């Protein structure tokens, strides 16, 4: 295993007119300046999974859908995550919830943080996502970045980019520092603990 930590930046929307790729790419550009981890964007557009209709939860049986298995394998590669999440009706997007339903041990005992955008800076979506991840044994962290109404107006209607809002970049430092610390600590813990057996196919 590589000594350098691997962090996935997950784009949680797939709409043709989404802006989610902008904060994801902006964050990746800032994060890749760090020497202590590698960062990779995971775009749910690349994993067009059907609505979850497996014969059982992944807690109890292996996932059968090949795209979902590929997504789970990709998520298993990482030591931690940044979820770039829009806010839809005070919550996360349906496509993100559906993707998470296909995961199990791939994300256990790993940390996650957030870049929220939309109403209230995506704060309500982030809080809902924290609850979902807690059930999945993912450690959600305190620091996050919230892209609020002024920045959204600039991005959507004034031709601005996130580089025009340096206060947001300042917030990424503590967020990524915390994420890398927890990713290293939890990887050490996982390495010292025998892995859980996979669900039985019987």
CATH number at residue 155: 3.40.50.360
Domain count, the chain: 1
pLDDT band with cut points at 50, 70 and 90 for residue 3: confident
Residue 5 falls within a domain, yes or no? no
Assigned domain for 1 exists: no
Q: Is residue 64 part of a domain?
A: yes
Residue 100 lies in a domain: yes
Section 8-31 average pLDDT: 97
> Is residue 6 included in any domain, yes or no?
no
Q: Is residue 58 part of a domain?
A: yes
Three-state SS for the chain is CCCCEEEEEEECCCCCCCCCHHHHHHHHHHHCCCCCEEEEEEEHHHCCCCCCCCCCCCCCCCCCCHHHHHHHHHHHCCCEEEEEEECECCECCHHHHHHHHCCCHHHCCEEEEEEEECHHHHHHHHHHHHHHHHHCCEEEEEEEEEECHHHHHHHHHCCCCHHHCHHHHHHHHHHHHHHHHHHHHHHHHHHCCCCCCCCCCC
Q: Is residue 167 part of a domain?
A: yes
Tens-digit pLDDT profile for residues 80-128: 999 999 999 999 999 999 999 999 999 999 999 999 999 899 999 999 9
Dump pLDDT digits (tens) for 162-182: 999 999 999 999 999 999 999
Phi, psi of 157 (to 5 degrees): -125, -10
**Do the domain assignments include residue 101?**
yes
Domain that holds residue 58: 16-191
Average pLDDT, the chain: 95
């Amino acid at each position: 295993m590589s000594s350098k930590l691997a962090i996935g930046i997950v784009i949680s929307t797939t709409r043709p007119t989404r802006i989610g790729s902008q904060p994801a790419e902006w964050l990746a550009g800032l994060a890749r300046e760090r020497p202590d981890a590698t960062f990779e964007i995971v775009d749910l557009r690349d994993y067009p999974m059907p609505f979850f209709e497996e014969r059982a939860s992944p807690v109890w049986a292996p996932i059968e859908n090949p795209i979902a298995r590929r997504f789970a394998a990709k998520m298993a590669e990482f030591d931690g995550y940044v979820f770039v999440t829009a806010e839809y009706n005070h919550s996360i997007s349906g496509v993100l919830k559906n993707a998470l339903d296909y995961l199990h041990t791939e994300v256990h005992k790993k940390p996650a943080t957030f870049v929220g955008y939309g109403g209230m800076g995506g704060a309500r979506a982030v809080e809902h996502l924290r609850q979902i991840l807690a059930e999945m044994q993912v450690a959600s962290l305190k620091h996050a970045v919230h892209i609020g109404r002024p920045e959204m107006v600039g991005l959507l209607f004034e031709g601005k980019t996130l580089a025009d809002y340096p206060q947001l970049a300042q917030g990424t430092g503590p967020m990524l520092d915390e994420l890398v610390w927890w990713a290293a600590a939890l990887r050490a813990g996982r390495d010292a603990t025998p892995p859980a057996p996979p669900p039985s196919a019987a």
